[in-house]
Each structure stands twice: as structure tokens, then as C-alpha cells.
Amino acid sequence: MRLHPAIIPLFAVLALAGCRKPPEKQTEAEQARAVRVIRVEQRPITGALSASGDLTPREEAAVLPEVTGYRVARVLADVGQYVRAGQTLVQLDPALIEAQIAQGEALAAQAEAQALQAEDQAARVKGLDDQGVLSQEQIEQRRLQARAARAQARAQAASLRDLRTRARKLAVTTPVSGLILERTVRPGDLSAGGATPWFRLARDGQMELSAQLNEADIARIHVGQTANVTLPGGGTAQGQVRLVSPQIDPQTKLGQVRILLPVRSDVRAGGFGRAVFTDVAGVAIAVPESAIRYDAEGASVMTVAADNRVRRVLVQTGRRAGGWVELTRGPPPASRIVMNAAAFLLDNDLIRPVEGLAPAAVARNAAPVGKR
């Protein structure tokens, strides 16, 4: 049978394909992926010390009325307003004291006139002692009346000055400059002594973080130390340690550290903040951040056994800084773990380990915190 010329090349290709050897199967060791691994060990972590606490005013000031029994006519300030020292916040109704001042002025004028009259009568008997014109008793009586009248005039003048001082106090002013945090006064309220402050101020608008540290960590903190504080809104602010508590609470074994923050609108009293002390170095069992895998079961790492097979181990993490994460629970020191948690490895997978940090990772982890 004669073949068509177009079919001849096809038969040639099939013949050659039948002569080829089947591909050899690779062993599991040959198929193993090269994966970079690192050992779990203690490492210095710069900025690893952190603390949490509440945002509070550095110093609070209270504004209350100094006079009682007067109605509030006007309230001139509100929450969130920054006020200056001596600024009037509340004006009390002056009608009552104006009438008292008018009465006091009249009484003071009357007492002054009586004093002048008594002093004039006392002056007339000057030099008449033992002259027989008037009895000595009458002379002394005029002199005593003059002194009593003068004392009464001084008392009425002092009473008038008190009323005028009270009139000036009807303008309730702030003793310091600051940010108003709270207001409790309303028009129509009656001023009363010993009541709740009408205003609470953060002096000069300054806030600070009041954080708690255990007795071991607080020994590593000193006044003037810097800290990066994370604010409730997600922003950050650089603060400075203003005060380190000289004592530890015997019950909680915690001490207080107060970190002064810059005056900013997003630093609000009563909020929660977290401080990281950037210039504190600590030693901890730590692994690279990239080695931690997170899923529904929590954090984990992939350990590498002596036969180069991997196994997933759950861990608990602690402090973080400089690209490293502290392990508070996990594989023991000297264990080998996979450096990249995104390597998509499964339990019992065989790998070809490459130990040590990659050159880029070495440079990155050696960089000071905040200068990446």
C-alpha cells in the first residue's frame, strides 16, 4: 500500500518518540525546597520595654466662686476652650451687692462725720486739764468719744472695702492658663462654698501618660528618657519621662512612670496610651517577625527537626522591636525554625535548610529603630 506523502513525516515523529527513554523519577530529597532557617536564641531588643496607662493632665486646676449667695448671670467659657490666667469665666449678678455697697457708703460717710464731730469736741478741751472749767471726767469722756467715733468710722470703711472686694470677685476668673476639661456651672446657679468645682482645667494644656511598670523594668527607666506613645486614635507622639515613682506598690509590685507629652489636640485626657521606650535595650528569646504565622489557632512557627522535616508549633509572643518578636512560650533555644512563615509548608514536609539571616535581613535588623 502506498502512503500519502503528507503522512510520512507523522510516522517518522511517532517512531522517534517511541525510541525515547521515560523520564527518571526524582527522589524526595531531590525535590525538597531550599528554605532559609534561623535558630531560636536570646537577642538584644532595642526599644523592647513598653508600658500602658491612662492619659491624664500633668496638673489640674479647679475654678470655684470665692463669694456665696449670688446668682450666675453669664457663663463665658466652655469645655475644650483654652483660657488665659486671669480671664473671666463666669459673671455673677451684681444687683444685690450694689445695693449693699450703696448702704455701706452711706454708713461710712455717717460714721466719718460723727468721728469728725467727736474729734472737734475733744480738741476744744485740749489744755483744760486741772483748770476747773470742766471736770476731769467730762474732759476724758470727750476724748474717749472721739476715739470711739474714729474706730467706728474705720470699721465702716473696712466693711465698705470688703463689699467692694466682693463686688470684684463677682467676676470668677481662672488662676492659671489651661485647657477646660469639665464645666458644671449654668446660668441661674447659686454660688455656694465647698461645692463641686465649676471648671476643671489642664494647666497649660499639658498631658502625660501615667504608666505602670513592674519593679524589674522600672529600674531601667530614668527621668529624661524618651518614649514613643501610641494614642487612642492611632497616632503617635514622642514623650519624655518626667517622673519615676520612688516606691513600688506592695500589693501589685508595680511602680508609676509619668511621661510628659507635647501639647496636641489629639492627646485627650482619659484616653488609653501605650509607650515604647526606644532607648532601652533588653535581652529576650526572640525570632524574626517574618517567622511568625497567624491563623485561627493563634501564632505559630515551623520548626525544623534533625531529619530536616518541618513541624508546626504554637507560640505566645511578647515584646516587639527592630523586626524581632519575643517568644514567651514556644520551641526551646537553639531550635531551628523557618524564617519565612509564608513559605506554604505543611507538617512533615522535607526541606533543604539554609541557615542564617539573608544579607538584606541582616542590614535591616541592624538598623536603629526609627531609621528604617
**Do 144 and 257 fall into the same domain?**
no
Query: What is the model's pLDDT at position 22?
Result: 55
Model pLDDT for residues 272-300, shown as the tens digit of each residue? 999 988 766 667 788 888 899 888 888 99
**Do 289 and 277 fall into the same domain?**
no
**Do 362 and 292 fall into the same domain?**
yes
More confident site: 208 or 132: 208
**Statement: residue 174 has pLDDT above 80:** yes
More confident site: 202 or 18: 202
pLDDT-derived band at 372, boundaries 50, 70, 90: very low
| Cβ neighbours of 192 (radius 10 Å) | 12
Q: Is residue 309 packed enough to be buried (19+ CB in 10 Å), middle (13-18) or exposed (0-12)? A: middle
Tell me how far CA of residue 184 lies from CA of 64, 191, 195, 256, in angstroms.
Answer: 10, 12, 10, 31
Question: Which amino acid belongs to residue 236?
Answer: T
The SS3 assignment for 274 reads strand
**Do 225 and 273 fall into the same domain?**
yes
| Domain contains 15 | no
For 302, the grid coordinates are: 515551623
**Do 174 and 80 fall into the same domain?**
yes
**Do 270 and 222 fall into the same domain?**
yes
**Do 223 and 313 fall into the same domain?**
no
| Domain contains 38 | yes
| Domain contains 372 | no
**Statement: residue 21 has pLDDT above 50:** yes
Model pLDDT for residues 141-165, shown as the tens digit of each residue? 878 888 888 899 899 999 999 999 8
Whole-number percent of the chain with pLDDT over 90: 37
Could you tell me which residues come within 8 angstroms of residue 247 by beta carbon, excluding any fewer than 6 positions away?
255
Domain that holds residue 276: 50-58+206-281
pLDDT-derived band at 368, boundaries 50, 70, 90: very low
**Do 194 and 256 fall into the same domain?**
no
Q: Are strands 88-92 and 293-295 parallel, antiparallel or unpaired?
A: unpaired
2-16, 17-31, 282-296, 353-367: the lowest-pLDDT one? 2-16
Beta-bridge mates of residue 253: none
Last residue of a domain, one of 281, 306, 327: 281
| Domain contains 371 | no
- How large is the average pLDDT for residues 333-362? 78
| Domain contains 14 | no
Model pLDDT for residues 88-136, shown as the tens digit of each residue? 999 999 988 888 889 989 999 999 898 898 888 877 777 666 565 566 7
| Domain contains 114 | yes
Helices (H), the chain: 8-19, 28-31, 95-124, 136-168, 215-218, 359-366
Identify the CATH number of the domain in which residue 135 sits. 1.10.287
Model pLDDT for residues 45-71, shown as the tens digit of each residue? 765 678 899 999 999 999 999 998 899
Kindly report whether the global pTM for this prediction surpasses the value 0.75.
Answer: no
Model pLDDT for residues 76-101, shown as the tens digit of each residue? 999 999 999 999 999 999 988 888 88
Last residue of a domain, one of 222, 256, 281: 281
**Do 104 and 214 fall into the same domain?**
no
**Do 174 and 289 fall into the same domain?**
no
As a whole number of angstroms, the distance between CA 115 and CA 148 comes to 8
Query: What is the model's pLDDT at position 281?
Result: 61
As a whole number of angstroms, the distance between CA 201 and CA 63 comes to 8
Beta-bridge mates of residue 312: 302
Identify the CATH number of the domain in which residue 339 sits. 2.40.420.20
The SS3 assignment for 50 reads strand
Identify the CATH number of the domain in which residue 181 sits. 2.40.50.100
As a whole number of angstroms, the distance between CA 322 and CA 282 comes to 12
**Total number of domains in the chain:** 4
Query: What is the model's pLDDT at position 362?
Result: 45
**Do 287 and 218 fall into the same domain?**
no
For 291, the grid coordinates are: 517567622
